[in-house]
A and B are shown apart, each in its own frame.
Chain A
Amino acid sequence: MAQKTQWKIGGEAGFGILSSGQVFAKACTRGGLNVFGYVEYPSLIRGGHNTCQTTISEGKVRSQIRQVDVLVALNKETITLHLDELSLGAAIIYDPDKTAATNEELKRDVRLFPVPFSKIAMEAAGQELMSNNVSIGATIAVYDYDIDLLLSVIKEQYLKKGEDIISKNLNSARAGYEYVKKNFPEPFKYRLAKAKKQASRMLFSGNEALGTGAIAAGCKFYSGYPMTPTSSLLHFMAGNEKKYGLIVKQAEDEIAVVNMAIGASHAGARAMCATSGGGFCLMTEGYGLAGMTETPLVIVLGMRGGPSTGLPTWTEQADLKFALNASHGEFPRVVFAPGDMEELFYWAAKAHNIADKYQTPVILMTDKHLAESHASVEKLDQEKITVERSQIVPDNTQNYLRYKLTDIGVSPRALPGQPGNIFVANSDEHDERGISTEEKAMRMQMFDKRMRKLAHITKDIEPPALYGPKRAEITIIGWGSTKGAILDAIGGLSEQGIKANFLHIISASPLHSEAIAKALKGRKPKLMVELNSTAQMAGVIREHTGIDIPNRLLKYDGRPIYPEEVIQKVRQVLNR
């Protein structure tokens, strides 16, 4: 099969674009192929232009790419909007009853597959709504892929909906497949074939991977308030509430969300809450409360385009400095930004462990691109997940002090309800019992105790990874969700004879400044890649290491970074 191919489906919102994309991606994954699926949609429910693009390869794929080889156009607009993304000889699958298209008109070397989606859907299932299934069936035929894999995915997808719905979906997909096989027998230039080495892969969205890691690590309480891109995390956790005995609550606002999670954690449950920029603004006072009362808590901050309501359904990495400095006063700031589905899984568990072990809040940052894209995942190893926690004192502990001053800054916990360990937690500065104090010596001791945690957390987490050749012509630096595109870019650069490596930062605080300084020392060119306008992480690195990174690839149009853009920028920096 082709090394890498990209399929894209486009149409009006409300026509099942995302679910079609996921069904197709799953069919590819089941055939042992790797996929990365990226969706674009406006902030409205009906109308507007939606797309889902799926990059497929036998080897690893970690990002969406520019070039499209097969375009499924559920409306005319899709062709006009994406024409310039089409590769030479790309396929356009469209409904000729709705959209007229000719090579002359398009002025493009493309192969046209007119497939009357609606008519076939009506014939096969009696419902025009099944058009997207017809188009996926047609896709399988154009790619000469395995229709049985698709049918098995569809069957499972609608298992709970009953026989009638299942067979309508199956029939429409099969009819689309057969229509193409019969009417366009000549093979298309890109083919998909089941991988020879059959790996048993899974398909995960970022939010699903994050939620799964949190559940595996024993997260039992989740509160949220709907906001893109973390609404689907709320839905995922709620969907698993019964089975895993969780408590999942949608509260009246984000202030209630964070305070509820703090109450839940204080009472003894592993707790997590999630939001995006605007909601996080509301949470900041509660975030500081968790820091002050030393309450473990994981806050997921899914970034989207800001400021204010901004670009609700688009991606950005512009909340880094906000997260690092959120809430007033000083307390240990712990901010992690994992880069892909696997990292979200493991770091969600790690975030809970760090929060619990050090009795402090942890911010887990994602963004719309990571949270809502889906990708094939080789393995999520739950054996690797451990539960690490701080000590809970036994009942009736003599002279128990909840906020005892200790070397590492962590004091033994007790839970309300335990006989004989009565204590109070206090948002005012307090002494070892939790009683308010404004006395200066105790203030200093208690403050320093809290701050001491950070040094120990630094030792407890891995320094940033350096990917690619040790000796390289250029070092690219990124954090969070740009990981996939940058890794794909250094692969592409190496094919072009350019050696680049990549320093990926997950822990924005504590920052492993020594490891970063070591990786960036010397005169070799460096390139910072970020989805914001002011190179926030470059600023943080400079603050901690004194190292300036003048070359920057910054993007803040709401779209994720593409490997092609990284490659182009690297060539420009290196003058090659």
Chain B
Amino acid sequence: MTINPQSLNSGVFPNWCPGCGDFAIFASIKQMLVKLETPIENNFFVYGIGCHGHMVNFMKTYGFEGLHGRPIPVAEGAKLVNKSLNVIVVSGDGDTYGEGMSHLMHIMRRNFDITVFVHDNMVYGLTLGQGSPTAQCGFKSRSTPEGLIDHPVNPIALAIAGGATFVARGFAGDPVHLQNLMLEAVKHKGFSIVDIFQPCVTFNHINTYQWFREKVYKLEESGHNPSDKMEALRKAFQQDKLPIGIFYREETEKTYEEQTATQVPLLSEQLKTDIKDILESMR
């Protein structure tokens, strides 16, 4: 089947707030899949819980919407079992940097050939806008009426330090740039993460499209060398301006799943296993 962006629509119309950055991310993912040219059935999306996760209903690919914070281990289990699947995690900043942070830290040291997209809107959108782990210090919401006193996590620096072999940041306000980043991430052999600035027009009145537009600049236009890890880290800590693009990329010999058992038989195949040798060893 030829893929075009329309063929990737499930028929359920997206119900995000008008103007939400999730629309552009959804469109970018579809464009990326068209360019990827892999058979549609080979893509397996695992979603977190949040506004972003509603995408499970809109996109016509194999998909699994799991628990808040837990899409990463579901993706790992599926990838181990069926290595030919192109496994993509669609998650939120609450999901990945809050509830499920430990899974992120561990998948990064495992170099699975899995891609994680994080809809980073700096709020918990679906639960009505509380500050998320990436919310700026001082951010006011109904759970922090006096302003947040926690400092934000730095996902890019964490990912570089944590062993991710492809680390990028995109912006929902620049979907063409985002599509290309997504394509690079998915094509990367090994673990890739794309943190995506996603304006939440309903709850985040600080980090708006305008705010991001004034701050972002493209790494590739600034002569950044993505194989330079220390330089990538330096860029990750930049705050006056916010770089988007590929911070860090590293070629690796083997992915995690390539180092584990051969393809296991799936349910449709012969499963009964002769255990004679175990029985003999117990005599």
Q: Which residues of A contact B (CB under 8 A)?
A: 29-30, 200-204, 208, 212, 215-218, 220-221, 223, 240-247, 249, 251-253, 255-257, 259-271, 285-286, 289, 293, 356, 377, 380, 382, 385-387, 389, 392, 413, 415-428, 434-436
A414 and chain B: residue at smallest CB distance? B62
Q: Given A202-B279, A215-B278, A262-B66, are A418 and B77 neighbors across the interface (CB < 8 Å)?
A: no
A-B residue pairs in contact (CB < 8 Å), sample of 18: A200-B283, A204-B282, A212-B278, A220-B271, A253-B102, A255-B70, A256-B76, A263-B74, A266-B74, A285-B70, A289-B66, A385-B272, A387-B271, A415-B82, A416-B85, A417-B85, A422-B62, A436-B57
- Do A422 and B261 touch (CB < 8 A)? no
Tell me how far the C-beta of A149 lies from the nearest C-beta in chain B, rounded to whole angstroms: 12
- Do B63 and A269 touch (CB < 8 A)? no
Complex alpha-carbon distance, A247 and B80, angstroms = 8
With A29-B283, A247-B81 given, name 10 new contacts (CB 8 A): A202-B282, A217-B271, A220-B271, A221-B77, A251-B73, A256-B72, A256-B73, A387-B272, A420-B41, A424-B64
Complex alpha-carbon distance, A421 and B57, angstroms = 16
Q: Given A217-B271, A387-B272, A415-B266, are A208 and B82 neighbors across the interface (CB < 8 Å)?
A: no
- Do B41 and A418 touch (CB < 8 A)? yes
Q: Kindly list the 8 A-B residue pairs having the minimum CB-CB distance in the complex, ordered from nearest.
A: A218-B271, A263-B77, A268-B266, A259-B73, A263-B74, A264-B77, A260-B77, A416-B62
Residues of A within 8 A of B275 (CB): 212, 215-216, 382
Question: Which residues of B in the span 52-80 have a Cβ within 8 Å of any Cβ on A?
Answer: 54, 56-57, 60-67, 70, 72-80
Residues of B within 8 A of A380 (CB): 279
| Residue in A216, A223, A245, A385 whose beta carbon sits within 8 Å of that of B264 in the complex | A245
Complex alpha-carbon distance, A386 and B62, angstroms = 30
B39 and chain A: residue at smallest CB distance? A419
Tell me how far the C-beta of A315 lies from the nearest C-beta in chain B, rounded to whole angstroms: 23
- Do A268 and B82 touch (CB < 8 A)? yes
Tell me how far the C-beta of B66 lies from the nearest C-beta in chain A, rounded to whole angstroms: 6
Residues of B within 8 A of A420 (CB): 41
Interface size (B, Cβ < 8 Å)?
A: 57
Q: How many Cβ-Cβ contacts under 8 Å join chain A to chain B? A: 207
Residues of B within 8 A of A415 (CB): 82, 266-268
Complex alpha-carbon distance, A252 and B80, angstroms = 16
CB of B6 closer than 8 Å to a CB of A: no
The 0/1 profile, CB within 8 Å of A marked 1, for residues 96-137 of chain B is: 000000110110000000000000000000000000000000
Residues of A within 8 A of B279 (CB): 202, 212, 380, 382
B54 and chain A: residue at smallest CB distance? A436
CB of B214 closer than 8 Å to a CB of A: no
A258 and chain B: residue at smallest CB distance? B73
- Do B40 and A247 touch (CB < 8 A)? no
- Do A425 and B64 touch (CB < 8 A)? yes
Tell me how far the C-beta of B92 lies from the nearest C-beta in chain A, rounded to whole angstroms: 14
The 0/1 profile, CB within 8 Å of A marked 1, for residues 24-61 of chain B is: 00000000000000011110101001000010110011
- Do A259 and B77 touch (CB < 8 A)? yes
Complex alpha-carbon distance, A506 and B57, angstroms = 41
Q: Most chain-B CB neighbours within 10 Å: which of A204, A385, A424?
A: A424
Q: Given A263-B76, A285-B67, are A269 and B57 neighbors across the interface (CB < 8 Å)?
A: no
Complex alpha-carbon distance, A242 and B259, angstroms = 12
Residues of B within 8 A of A377 (CB): 282
Residues of B within 8 A of A425 (CB): 63-65
Q: Most chain-A CB neighbours within 10 Å: which of B261, B272, B282?
A: B282
- Do B106 and A256 touch (CB < 8 A)? yes
Q: Given A240-B278, A253-B102, are A422 and B273 neighbors across the interface (CB < 8 Å)?
A: no
- Do A263 and B65 touch (CB < 8 A)? no
- Do B277 and A243 touch (CB < 8 A)? yes
Q: Most chain-B CB neighbours within 10 Å: which of A262, A263, A423, A435?
A: A263
Complex alpha-carbon distance, A263 and B85, angstroms = 12
CB of B239 closer than 8 Å to a CB of A: no
- Do B81 and A286 touch (CB < 8 A)? no
The 0/1 profile, CB within 8 Å of A marked 1, for residues 246-283 of chain B is: 00000000000000111011111001111111110011
CB of B10 closer than 8 Å to a CB of A: yes
Complex alpha-carbon distance, A202 and B277, angstroms = 12
| Residue in B12, B41, B81 whose beta carbon sits within 8 Å of that of A264 in the complex | B81
- Do B56 and A424 touch (CB < 8 A)? yes
| Residue in A245, A246, A416 whose beta carbon sits within 8 Å of that of B82 in the complex | A416
- Do A427 and B42 touch (CB < 8 A)? no
Residues of A within 8 A of B266 (CB): 267-269, 415
Tell me how far the C-beta of B109 lies from the nearest C-beta in chain A, rounded to whole angstroms: 10
CB of B84 closer than 8 Å to a CB of A: yes
Q: Given A203-B282, A217-B272, A251-B73, are A263 and B260 neighbors across the interface (CB < 8 Å)?
A: no
Complex alpha-carbon distance, A365 and B81, angstroms = 26
- Do A30 and B283 touch (CB < 8 A)? yes
Tell me how far the C-beta of A61 lies from the nearest C-beta in chain B, rounded to whole angstroms: 17
Residues of A within 8 A of B84 (CB): 417
Tell me how far the C-beta of B104 lies from the nearest C-beta in chain A, rounded to whole angstroms: 10
Tell me how far the C-beta of B61 lies from the nearest C-beta in chain A, rounded to whole angstroms: 6
A419 and chain B: residue at smallest CB distance? B41
- Do B102 and A208 touch (CB < 8 A)? no
| Residue in B61, B75, B79, B261 whose beta carbon sits within 8 Å of that of A246 in the complex | B261
- Do B81 and A268 touch (CB < 8 A)? yes
Q: Given A202-B282, A256-B106, A422-B41, are A286 and B70 neighbors across the interface (CB < 8 Å)?
A: yes
- Do B42 and A426 touch (CB < 8 A)? no
| Residue in A30, A247, A260, A426 whose beta carbon sits within 8 Å of that of B74 in the complex | A260
- Do A261 and B85 touch (CB < 8 A)? no
Residues of B within 8 A of A200 (CB): 283
Residues of B within 8 A of A392 (CB): 267-268
Complex alpha-carbon distance, A505 and B213, angstroms = 66
Complex alpha-carbon distance, A253 and B104, angstroms = 12
Complex alpha-carbon distance, A101 and B279, angstroms = 43
Residues of B within 8 A of A241 (CB): 261
Tell me how far the C-beta of A268 lies from the nearest C-beta in chain B, rounded to whole angstroms: 4
- Do B41 and A435 touch (CB < 8 A)? no
| Residue in A247, A253, A266, A285 whose beta carbon sits within 8 Å of that of B261 in the complex | A247
Tell me how far the C-beta of A374 lies from the nearest C-beta in chain B, rounded to whole angstroms: 10
Tell me how far the C-beta of B10 lies from the nearest C-beta in chain A, rounded to whole angstroms: 7
Q: Given A30-B283, A420-B41, A422-B61, are A255 and B73 neighbors across the interface (CB < 8 Å)?
A: yes
B275 and chain A: residue at smallest CB distance? A216
Residues of B within 8 A of A201 (CB): 283
Complex alpha-carbon distance, A452 and B83, angstroms = 35
Q: Given A416-B82, A417-B42, A417-B84, are A245 and B262 neighbors across the interface (CB < 8 Å)?
A: yes
